[in-house]
Amino acid sequence: MDNPFFEAWTAPFGAPPLDRIRPEHFAPAYARALAEHDAEIAAIAGNPAPPDFANTLAALEDSGRLLARVEAVFFNLSSAHTNEALQGIEMEMAPRLAAHWSAIYLNQALFARIAAVPAEGLDKESCKLLERYRLDFVRAGARLEGAARTRLDAITQRLATLATEFSQNVLAEEQDFLLPLSQDQLAGLPDFARDAAAETAKARGLDAPYAVTLARSSVEPFLQFADDRALREQLFKAWTRRGDNANAHDNNAVIAETLKLRAEKARLLGYGDFASYKLADSMAATPHRARELLDLLWKPAKTRAAIERDALQALVAEEGGNFKLAPWDWRYYAEKLRAKLYDFDEAELKPYLQLDGMIAAAFFVAGKLFDLSFTARPDIPVYHPDIGVWEVQRQGQAIGLFYGDYFARPEKQGGAWMSSLRDQESLHGPVLPLILNTCNFAKSDPALLSFDDARTLFHEFGHALHGLLSQVRYLRLSGTNVARDFVELPSQIYEHWLEVPEVLSRFARHYQTGEPMPQALLDKVLAARNFNQGFAMTELLASAIIDMDFHSEGDADADDPAARQAATLKRIGMPDEIAPRHAAAHFGHIFGGDGYSAGYYSYLWSAVLDADGFGAFKADPFDGTAAARLYENIYSSGGTRDFAQAYRDFRGRDPDIAALLEDRGLT
């Protein structure tokens, strides 16, 4: 078989031939890649020479190159351009890959060599790599023996299968749901939302003029504008019950087994619960410190949300509504209240937030802060025609490629994320990163964004910059390979530049006339930036607390995740009118993989850092000295530094939570 994975990639930058890679290429590619990696690991572990940095750590960095190439392409396709064939491969390979990596981390001879590598004479980055590898192996069970090692290996494989099953269930729920709509049912929706609904119906080949799906970019405008309360309720319940419908795609049993296995894994590794295990390798260090932050934010957020709720309920009564505000009403009446208080609504704002303009705005900020430039590269192969690719240069030198995959599609998982096809390193000379942003914006012509969509674009581009600007030697320390509660700092601080007046006045232009956003409207947008922040913080905090409770209570009530979630919401006094941002059954951050498990709090931990950190730019949003410190200590240093010290070196001190409370209007 002609297999692209077995060829030299000759596209510019050595980019993968995404237009030629097919599902049938993966089985032989994985087989060869795993065999090669096994042989490389065996050679390192069995090397008769005394262990040193070159023959052990550097050799590990050099191993698994084909596997990394295959994995990077497969992850991006299986998450953003999947099909039945890829899903079958994903389900088959999840436990095999978990077993492969488990065998490496539990390889006693290999760990003995890593433990014996002398640190004397190593530079700081090499010392950090040695420290990181030792910790990785210990946290993966390298010190376990006998039955405990065997059991941990089995748990690791089973958890990988469960995570894949969870994600595929959520995607199936989203693919199966489609709400056809007639003209009459669109009452209240502005033109941009109608156009997106028409595009959805057309793309799905539906015998109806309009439709909405369970993609957030489809659901939220409907909840925000649709006058039909019954339809809002129907859509909201379908959206919030993904994975919890007692059908073939129900995730409750998956969650229950996952929680039990994670708790058992933590005990095997010497921790009282899974949260303690996960946070031991984070800035927070302990669940107690993470909970302190969540508790500190919960009271002001809930107090603010109660004030907002009362204002919305008053508006319901003012309009003659004889009902108690429900979760499917909140966005609808909040939009009405915003229009009343600030004399503008989303429909007035959205024509100025064209996707191409917001991409240009994100590029402009990167140019001002970090001296970056972006040039379209239509010659780079992609897996879908909607994807754009840009060559990124810094100070006139190419530093990588940026791929943007922005539109929602049935074959794409929900949400937004940054990923890579290749990470930056310089072990044997410069290797330039290939970085992707994947979003789920509603497709229309032209594509118009909400302000939240534009913020998401800036957020994910902040992650992309973290990968693109990386300047480290070793892959293990490259780009976003940092503590989970530090990784959101580069993305969240970048969001602030969306609201800089110079950026909006330059790039927020009407899609028909090209006129800039009127100053009066810009002033209203900035004045309303903290509107509905009680709601936003409450739904986010609730999900973070649910996550922490799930992973801090061992096996208690694991068999009934819904009851466990309900108990948490009752304990914290969750307002009836607000739902958690992510309910357990579709909480992909924590159950669709191990990334944010016991770590969803990290968005709030990083929020403290980003709010305080942007204070360095209050006098001048493009201050060159502050930008240089931001680049050196946050964006380019990867995992080579102590993260608390990296922040101090950027800001000159530790962060102050007061900045977050002020930034979100919670003081």
Q: Which residues are catalytic?
A: 460
Give the β-pairing of 388-394 and 397-407: antiparallel
Smallest CA-to-CA distance from 244 within 256, 233, 231 is with: 256
Smallest CA-to-CA distance from 349 within 200, 496, 528 is with: 528
Helix (H) or strand (E) holding 319: none
Q: Are 40 and 32 in contact (CB under 8 A)?
A: no
d(CA 372, CA 395): 7
Residue 149 burial class via C-beta count within 10 angstroms: exposed 0-12, middle 13-18, buried 19 and up: middle
| First-last CA distance in the chain | 64
Smallest CA-to-CA distance from 26 within 102, 96, 119 is with: 96
d(CA 558, CA 530): 37
Rg (CA), the chain: 25
d(CA 432, CA 414): 28
Distances (CA, A) of 307 to 312, 314, 322, 407, 535: 9, 11, 20, 36, 10
Q: Are 585 and 561 in contact (CB under 8 A)?
A: yes
CA angle centred on 421, ends 420 and 426, rounded to 5°: 85
211 forms bridges with which residues in the sheet?
A: 180
Tokens 């609808």 belong to 332
